Structure 1
Amino acid sequence: MTLWARKKGVPLPAHPRNWKGTAGEWLGDAAAFFRKKGVPEAEANAEFIMAAVLETGRNDVRLGASHPLSEKQGFHFWELVQERGQRVPLGYVLGSQGFMGLDIAVTRDVLVPRPETEELAAAARDLLQAGRPDPTVLEIGTGTGCVAIALAKALPGATVYATELSPAALALALRNAEAHGVSRRIRFLKEDLFKPAARGAGWADLVVSNPPYIPSAEIDRLEPEVRKEPRLALDGGKDGLDAIRAIAADAPRHIRKGGWLVLEIGSEQGAAVRGLLEGAGGAAVEVRRDLQGLDRIAVARF
């Protein structure tokens, strides 16, 4: 289903150009509107929306800036621009988000996949590729399923378990896995943390998770886009470490000797998470920084 078909029947939003103009003119209008609304990366957001409306890539949008839009295209474009102007995350506006070269369907039931989580998935992938050819992997809190799917695609011999507390998120993750042809190699389980995936001691080669890690009091001070995402997936308790503590405490029981725990963490949590992982028996604990130079990925061997 195209975006236009999904939006059909919505009242026509106001636009000063009276629904006429080239793609480049529409992009300029959208970028100006976004700057007025405080939307970050105004030009890039406008290009992503135009690419979705025209069902093409961003480069083609730039090359085709002199081409006029039809009234239907203009209406659809401006409707999505207005939605993004309300600080709705771009992934929700478009219904999908790129992740490690994959197109991942997104709804308001899940976090929008982020570049930081691509770093989490890449760290897990690299550790697994250096090990046995048929690893068993557990992802805790799969959301869209993007990490589990990326790992299953990169590691054809892997068996992946993915837990999720939200039924809506779990259904979306399964649909994403089916779309990418890996649903038979990922077992999606409705539960929190380890409970349904437990198979006794030492069964997983790697456990990976992007747990809730934002301190409760900080959530309402975050960017408007983040505040529109599911609070359950964001709220890490008073100090942001509730879920990480639980994972660190239980993970050693499930990880095979020599296996790994890989976590996405908050930008100021490196020292605290290192202490938790070392206290749980983790060896070679490493806190890696993201592209902005902030603490983001914690890795421990058990």
Structure 2
Amino acid sequence: MELWDVFDRLRQPQNRTVERGSVADKNDFHIIVHSWVRRKSDNKLLISKRVKNIFWGGYWQVTAGSVISGETSKEAAVRELNEELGIKAEKARTFLLFSYRCMKNQEKTASFFVDSWLFEIDDIDSKIEIILQKEEVEEAKWCTFEEMIDLWKNGLFMPVEQTWSPYFDILQKTLKKPETIQSLKTWGSAELRLSKTTTPELDASLILSYVLGYTKNELFVNSANKVSKEQIFDFSKLLYKRADGLPVAYITGQKEFWKSIFKVSPSVLIPKPDTELLVELAVNLIRARIPDQSVQMEKKLNLADVCTGSGCVGISVFLETINSNISAEKLHFVLTDISEKALSVAKENAQRILGKNAKNIKFVQGDLLKPLLENKCVFDIVLANPPYVPSKITDELLQDGRSEPRLALDGGVDGLDIIKRLIPEVWQVLNKNGILLIETGEYNAAQTAKLLTNAGFSDIETFTDLGGQPRVTQARKP
């Protein structure tokens, strides 16, 4: 009885086996191998023709089969070549060309991963002997890639593209430079093009950079470099996470924002480029109030960053300010968030990015400004990026598997629930002529401006982002 090891959709072993062909759940996966053979003398590929009385009988094929329980993928690929064609491939040069996931929609139908292997056989120094497995293989022959494609176009080659549409395109490209950075980028992009991501090439490059420990520039410069089979499998597993909707930032655990790399986790919202406008406006305000080091100040400039999340706004503002020849000792920042886990991420980012200057930042857990009001704190500038997405749109955004915290997105039915509570609290903590900078996005910038007017604020102005969308609203307490 042949047994298969069972894996989940991310290729994590489930520590159980099933009898061959008896997988009863589409969420259970097993592994299939394709064993391509290329001979050294002319780079032709070896294909075989299945006997007529079996599944896919009469079709030409790549040697293939399932991985048996306890086997590695490579061991299975070697075994299949030996069983079906009598080829001993243990000592051949071996490459893992690509791997992909095939998920079935029907219940009680097995889903699977396919690992496509290449074995380069030396036929110059020794003859390649082929011994057919008569029960399954009728004929074998050597052919060029183009000759094989002609068979496929004429309906004579097994339609493996039904399991993964870019199969033959990626096969051709990876055969040229197997197990290189470029080949991984090629098939990684192809895998993600089948998902909902709108940036498959970029996502594949970012994930590959993370796996290899390269910068984006290093990835480009070293595109011809070889990668290990372990790195290929690591890359493929992360690709499946991205294909399922998990953002690249959560996969890599980091996101570039402003001029720093921030740690992120599913406990915090991923920093967005549009939010950098909030940083820019805040830095300009601080520079206007503290032009240079020569200005003598009786007290520190007090700033609060509400709903700080990863701390990307407050930390970036602080860093940019001290890089503008303004002493850190002239600044006092308070970063608040209702989530203890989010504050933990923000603290770690502050320590890593600001070093000893992190001592000038205080972290406070609580609902908006409530803990600061209780301690009668006052501020010159309040920064806020609160949840402002309408609930219905939040539901739609979270359907793609992005896993961002609803707490950081959902602003209620109209997106204004948190903003309506925040504005009167800001009024109470601001000094005279204090400034509020609040990101409200395209959903409700106009309504926010009206709420600020009704609350007594003046000099209200909304700034647009690079996409021309209303992004940040500024208001002054007279």
Whether TM-score is above 0.5 comes out as yes
The answer to which structure, 1 or 2, has the higher relative contact order (CA under 8 A, 6+ apart) is: 1
Q: What residue identity is the alignment partner of 2:319?
A: K
Q: What residue identity is the alignment partner of 1:222?
A: L
Matches within 5 A, 1:41-190: 41-132=199-290, 134-155=300-321, 156=328, 157-180=330-353, 181=355, 182-190=357-365
Contact map agreement 1:80 1:93 (CA 8 A) in 2: yes
Distance 1:298 1:93 in 2: 32
Distance 1:250 1:41 in 2: 40
What per-residue deviation string (whole Å, max 9, x for no partner) do you get for residues 209-251 of structure 1?
1100011122112264575211111110111011111121221
The CA deviation at 1:15 is 5.3
Contact map agreement 1:54 1:73 (CA 8 A) in 2: yes
The CA deviation at 1:18 is 3.7
The CA deviation at 1:286 is 0.8
Larger Rg: 2
- Say if 1:163 and 1:225 are closer, same or farther in 2 by CA, change over 3 A: farther
Matches within 5 A, 1:233-252: 233-252=408-427
Distance 2:245 2:380 in 1: 40
Distance 1:114 1:280 in 2: 29
1:285 is aligned, of 450, 457, 460, to: 460
Aligned residues: 293
Q: What residue identity is the alignment partner of 1:72?
A: E
2:474 counterpart of 1:299: yes
State TM-score, norm by structure 1.
Answer: 0.91
Contact map agreement 1:89 1:225 (CA 8 A) in 2: no
Distance 2:443 2:229 in 1: 49
Contact map agreement 1:163 1:197 (CA 8 A) in 2: no
Distance 2:402 2:243 in 1: 15
Distance 1:226 1:276 in 2: 34
Distance 1:48 1:187 in 2: 33
Q: What residue identity is the alignment partner of 1:171?
A: S
Matches within 5 A, 1:252-263: 252-263=427-438
The CA deviation at 1:92 is 0.4
Greater fraction of residues in helix: 1
Residues 235-244 or 74-83, more deviating? 74-83
Question: Gaps spanning 5+ residues in structure 2: where?
Answer: 1-10, 14-72, 74-98, 100-112, 119-177, 292-299, 322-327
- Say if 1:15 and 1:114 are closer, same or farther in 2 by CA, change over 3 A: farther
Contact map agreement 1:23 1:66 (CA 8 A) in 2: yes
Question: Gaps spanning 5+ residues in structure 1: where?
Answer: 1-8
Distance 1:100 1:246 in 2: 29
Provide the aligned C-alpha RMSD in A: 2.0
1:215 is aligned, of 390, 394, 397, to: 390
Contact map agreement 2:247 2:402 (CA 8 A) in 1: no
Contact map agreement 2:370 2:425 (CA 8 A) in 1: no
What per-residue deviation string (whole Å, max 9, x for no partner) do you get for residues 173-211 of structure 1?
11111112143111111101112223537x211001110
Q: What residue identity is the alignment partner of 1:118?
A: E
Q: What residue identity is the alignment partner of 1:129?
A: R
Q: What residue identity is the alignment partner of 2:312?
A: C
